[in-house]
Amino acid sequence: MKKVIVISISISIFVFTLLLCQVAYAADLRSGGNIIIPSDAVVNDDLYISGGSVVIDGRVNGDLIIGGGTVTINGSVRDDLMVGSGTVIVNGPIEQSIRVAGGTVSINGEVGEDLVAAGGTLETATDSSVGRDAIITGGNVRLSGDIGRRLFGSVSSLVIDGSIGQNARLYVDRLTLTDRAVIGGDLHYTSENRARIADGAQIEGRTIFDRVRPPAARPGARIATFILSYLAALLFGIVLLLLFPARVVQVADTIIAAPWQSPLLGTALLVTVPVIAIILAVLVVTIPISLTLIFLYILGIYLAKVFVGLMVGRWITGYFKLRIGNIVALLIGLLIIMLLGLIPILGLLLRFLYVLFGLGAAALVLYRVVVEARQRGGPGTEPPEQAPGVHTVTPSEG
168: number of Cβ within 10 Å: 28
| 310-326 pLDDT per residue, tens | 999 999 888 888 888 88
- 253 domain-assigned: yes
| Rounded Cα gap, residues 331 and 336, in angstroms | 9
- 80 domain-assigned: yes
One domain, residues 201 and 223? no
Q: Which of 161, 178, 211 is the last residue of a domain?
A: 211
Instruction: Give the per-residue pLDDT at 60.
Output: 95
β-partners of residue 231 are: none
Run of H or E including 156 = strand 151-160
Residue 187 above 90 pLDDT?
yes
Q: How confident is the model at residue 215 (pLDDT cuts 50, 70, 90)?
A: low
Instruction: Give the per-residue pLDDT at 24.
Output: 42
Residues 6+ apart with CB under 8 A from 33: 51, 52, 53
CA within 13 Å, CB half, 328? 10
| Rounded Cα gap, residues 86 and 71, in angstroms | 8
- Residue that wins the pLDDT comparison between 146 and 14: 146
One domain, residues 175 and 41? yes
Q: How many domains does the chain have?
A: 2
One domain, residues 157 and 269? no
Q: Which of 186, 211, 236 is the last residue of a domain?
A: 211
Residue 307 above 90 pLDDT?
yes
- 291 domain-assigned: yes
Which alpha helices (H) appear in 62-197, and where do they start and end?
none
Q: How confident is the model at residue 220 (pLDDT cuts 50, 70, 90)?
A: low
| Rounded Cα gap, residues 359 and 365, in angstroms | 10
- 165 domain-assigned: yes
One domain, residues 129 and 223? no
Closest CA to 121 of 147, 95, 93, 102: 102
One domain, residues 276 and 359? yes
One domain, residues 189 and 250? no
- 382 domain-assigned: no
Residue 46 above 50 pLDDT?
yes
Run of H or E including 106 = strand 98-107
- 336 domain-assigned: yes
Q: Which of 211, 228, 246 is the last residue of a domain?
A: 211
One domain, residues 51 and 168? yes
* Residue 358 contacts residue 256 (beta carbons within 8 Å): no
One domain, residues 178 and 98? yes
Q: Residue 121: give the domain boundaries.
A: 30-211
- Residue that wins the pLDDT comparison between 195 and 213: 195
321: left (phi over 0), alpha (psi -120 to 50) or beta: left
Provide, rounded to the nearest whole percent, the portion of the chain with pLDDT above 70.
Answer: 84
Instruction: Give the per-residue pLDDT at 218.
Output: 57
Q: Between 346-375 and 2-25, two packed helices, what is the crossing angle to 10 degrees? A: 100
One domain, residues 265 and 204? no
- 184 domain-assigned: yes
One domain, residues 134 and 207? yes
Residue 7 above 50 pLDDT?
no
Highest-scoring range by mean pLDDT, 16-30, 50-64, 206-220:
50-64
- 386 domain-assigned: no
One domain, residues 277 and 259? yes
| Rounded Cα gap, residues 250 and 257, in angstroms | 10
* Residue 277 to residues 80, 217, 289, 380, 389, Cα–Cα distance (Å): 19, 41, 8, 33, 28
Output the 3-class SS for 5-73: HHHHHHHHHHHHHHHHHHHHHCCEEEEEEEEEECCCCEECCCEEEEEEEEEECCEECCCEEEEEEEEEE
Residues 6+ apart with CB under 8 A from 158: 141, 142, 143, 170, 172, 174, 175, 176
| 335-378 pLDDT per residue, tens | 999 999 888 778 888 888 889 899 888 888 888 888 887 777 65
Please compute the mean of the pLDDT values over residues 279-308 and round it to a whole number: 81
One domain, residues 200 and 223? no
